[in-house]
A and B are shown apart, each in its own frame.
Chain A
Amino acid sequence: MALSDSVLDHLRHVAALPDLTGTRYELESEIGRGGLGVVYAAHDRQLDRRVALKVLDFALAGEARLIARLEHPAIVPIYETGTLPDGRAFYTMKLVAGTRLDRYLAGSPSLAERLRVIRRVGEAIGFAHSQGSIHRDLKPQNIMVGEFGEVYVMDWGVDAVEGTPAFRAPDPSLDHRSDIYSLGALLRFMLPVAAPPALRAITTKAMNADPAARYSNAQALLADIERFQEGHAVEAWSEPLWHRLRRFGSRNAVLLWLLAAYAAVKFLLFFLRNV
């Protein structure tokens, strides 16, 4: 009896499912396919909780160790690593209930909220760099925004991954400056159409084709974003005089109004005295 294509596809799919025999996990469903592996939702029988279980295509246990070393609020914590009966490595981690960044942006969050998210991502990247780790594949699909607004950076890369073209640095060397480029590309992706020129200048600096011309580290990029949010001049942009005056007026609106009120009072009194 010939089998239909749909039946064959189903059989292939079932055959590819990981055999969790000998582990404490029960497979639930496939969540997605990340860098060099497939991520499933699973049930931890021992602790009676749901976890995310990532099965690596080949022996990349180093990826789990890489992430496990990075203890940061924006980096998904690793629970356990192991080897399946078929020899494939796996690790379990916190199952993040949230939305991928590209889908999160479809809800039109405010600029302040977008900058909050990018700052959380930048903090995680900066921390990883300080620990000697590089992400290598920063892109919207690897950022999750949790149901409580928490931000997670997922799919930390290994040597075999060189990033996604739209967010990958053009320079061949893969170091922390590659992540800076990707962070800038991520910020540009997140900005609304009518973004302030200062923020666009920040992305331009971060995405400079010359690695030496980019921000030296993630903290410098975040500091410029913070300066923008506080109404100060950003290092990435030599703003024109009119814009500088407008920014001064915006930051000191109350004071300028009070001074104007004083001048108006004085003028009024002078006028009344001489009428």
Chain B
Amino acid sequence: MNKILIGLLFGLVLGAIDGTTAWFTPEARPLIGGIMVGSSIKGMLVGLLSGWFARKVHSTKWGVVLGAGLGLLFAFIVAAMPSETGKHHYLEIMLPGFVVGAILGFLTQRMGPPHPAVIAE
């Protein structure tokens, strides 16, 4: 299983789990289905890009940084989207998205086939 596939799978799973936690916000419960789908897609995108980066660069530190940055960016895009109530939940979406992105960056660096630079060592 290559790093991109790992990023996609873990992004899907972690994104779905992250979306599920929206259930703890009462006003978000009616929209839980859409939130989970959106969060999963967001996770898959972050995982895909993190996995692609992990194939190019062998660095856990920069993988985590990139993943966190991508997570923050996509979470911001989602949070900034127009909502029915007109309210934007930047903190509730971006903060967890930032950490999930960091986790995806770490997992894509550590799992999957070793980077060619590691094989050469």
Contacts and interface: CB of A to CB of B under 8 A. Distances in A.
B85 interface: no
Contacts of A262: 96, 99-100, 103
Contacts of B103: 255, 258-259, 262
Interface stretch (A44-52, A85-93, A234-242, A266-274): A266-274
A273 B28 CA distance: 13
A254 interface: yes
B96 A266 contact: yes
Nearest to A258: B103
A265 B106 CA distance: 18
B25 interface: yes
Contacts of B91: 269
B98 to A, nearest CB: 8
Interface in A237-265: 254-255, 258-259, 261-262, 265
B60 interface: yes
B14 to A, nearest CB: 9
A269 B92 contact: yes
A270 B96 CA distance: 12
B107 interface: yes
A258 B99 contact: yes
Contacts of A266: 21, 24, 96
Contacts of B60: 254
- Report the interface size class on chain A: 10 to 19
Interface residues of B, number: 16
Q: Which 7 A-B pairs have the closest CB atoms?
A: A262-B99, A258-B103, A265-B95, A261-B99, A269-B92, A258-B102, A265-B96
Nearest to A260: B99
A255 B106 contact: yes
Contacts of A270: 24
Interface of B: 21, 24-25, 60, 64, 91-92, 95-96, 99-100, 102-103, 106-107, 110
Nearest to A268: B95
Given A254-B60, A255-B106, A273 B99 contact: no
Where chain B touches its partner, the secondary structure class is helix
Interface of A: 254-255, 258-259, 261-262, 265-266, 269-270, 273
B67 to A, nearest CB: 10
Contacts of A273: 25, 92
A266 B60 CA distance: 24
A109 to B, nearest CB: 22
Given A261-B99, A265-B95, A255 B21 contact: no
A254 B103 CA distance: 9
Nearest to A265: B95
Contacts of B25: 273
Contacts of B102: 258, 261
Nearest to B95: A265
Contacts of A269: 91-92, 95-96
B120 to A, nearest CB: 18
Contacts of B96: 262, 265-266, 269
B2 to A, nearest CB: 20
Given A266-B21, A269-B92, A270-B24, A254 B99 contact: no
A270 B25 CA distance: 8
Contacts of B106: 254-255, 258
Nearest to A263: B99
A254 B107 contact: no
B99 A255 contact: no
B95 A254 contact: no
A229 to B, nearest CB: 14
A255 B100 CA distance: 11
Nearest to B96: A265
